[in-house]
Amino acid sequence: MADQVTCHAWNADRTLLAVCPNNNEVLIFQKPSQPEETWTKLYTLKEHDALVTEIAWAPKTNRIITTSQDRNAYVWSFEGDVWKPMLVILRISAAATSVKWCADERKFAVGSGAKVLAVCNHDEANNFWVSKQMKQFTSTVSSVAWDPTSSVIIATACTDYKCRIFSAYMKGVDGKNVETRWGKDPKFGTLFLEVASLGWVRDVAFDATGTTLAFASQNSTIGFVDGASHPFFELPSRSPNPAPSSTPYPSIPHSPPATHAAAPPGGFSPLAPVCKHTGLSVRAPMPQSPRAATPPSRSCASQKCRSPKSSSFRMAPWWVWATTTTRFSLGALALGGPGWAS
């Protein structure tokens, strides 16, 4: 396999791993029962004509979505002992950059370099996947994230320096009288919230409750938005006075309870901001240092911690883990899975 892995995705029970070895293929490996044993390659998914950019593996339906620079997406279904692809009608004019399933797995969203977001669903009558587009962007949609408690609310990261939250409500798919924290049956494409950043927004993620949104920017900062009252604050970069060449956070995936994530050796070294006044993480999603005397039970109340430019933060190293129930891991890749120490 190539030295570089472009993207990866686990199946529901973390026994299978799909990876793109920096080409137009997706390889599916079986995780060995012991760390010292060899991974077994089971399947190779070949359908794309260019680099695969993202993989999303649905935990309930066991379907895999792959997107590519060839402007296509395929939904793969496991039938018998074969993965069978079905082309998605995206109607985009540039590379597909990202993809995510919604909570009930009846829809998924594809970001693209065509300045559009394609929200896709299965057309039962014709038995193929169709898309409906949002076009409120002025640059590449680099990442998408669904509210884990709703199949209607979606967030986007964009290289136009904006993070946004939209409605992806489809009456024919979601039904009527769908309640969200933003109202009932919100019209498709309704823009609920737009937050400006000081750099390209690279990635975006909701916490497990859907109430906090985090996004990583090219300027080495992490932004947080409270979904209930919508206040926004930004955590400082890796150093007090970062140079223009400071390494940005490439991703900010949510880490569910009882999971671990680790920066790959020789790769990124994410740092966890912790308030030096109280020893608490600034908000629950950020990892908490075990050296702090006070357990992470609430947000920091110090007024000095309210300003993004405050110097009241100390940095905990990337190998420190949190014990809070809601966390984010920055730029992390874990190849462990259940029962392994990542």
How high is the pLDDT of residue 198?
Answer: 86
| CB-neighbour burial class of residue 323 (10 A; exposed 0-12, middle 13-18, buried 19+) | exposed
How high is the pLDDT of residue 221?
Answer: 84
C-alpha 48/C-alpha 259 separation (Å) is 32
How high is the pLDDT of residue 225?
Answer: 84
How high is the pLDDT of residue 102?
Answer: 95
How high is the pLDDT of residue 254?
Answer: 53
| CA distance readout (Å), 154 to 6, 143, 226 | 24, 11, 15
The CA R_g of the chain, rounded to the nearest whole Å, is 20
Do 97 and 112 touch, CB atoms closer than 8 A? yes
C-alpha 184/C-alpha 180 separation (Å) is 6
The pLDDT tens digits along the chain (342 residues) read 667 899 999 999 999 999 999 999 999 999 999 989 999 999 999 999 999 999 999 999 999 999 999 999 999 999 999 999 999 999 999 999 999 999 999 999 999 999 999 999 999 888 889 999 999 999 999 999 999 998 999 999 999 999 999 999 999 999 988 888 878 888 999 999 899 888 999 999 998 888 888 999 988 888 888 766 555 555 544 444 444 445 565 566 555 543 323 233 333 333 333 333 333 333 333 333 333 333 333 334 334 343 333 333 332 332 222 222 333 444 433 333 333 333
E-strand spans in 31-106? 40-46, 52-57, 64-68, 73-79, 82-87, 96-101
C-alpha 15/C-alpha 216 separation (Å) is 29
C-alpha 56/C-alpha 122 separation (Å) is 16
How high is the pLDDT of residue 313?
Answer: 30
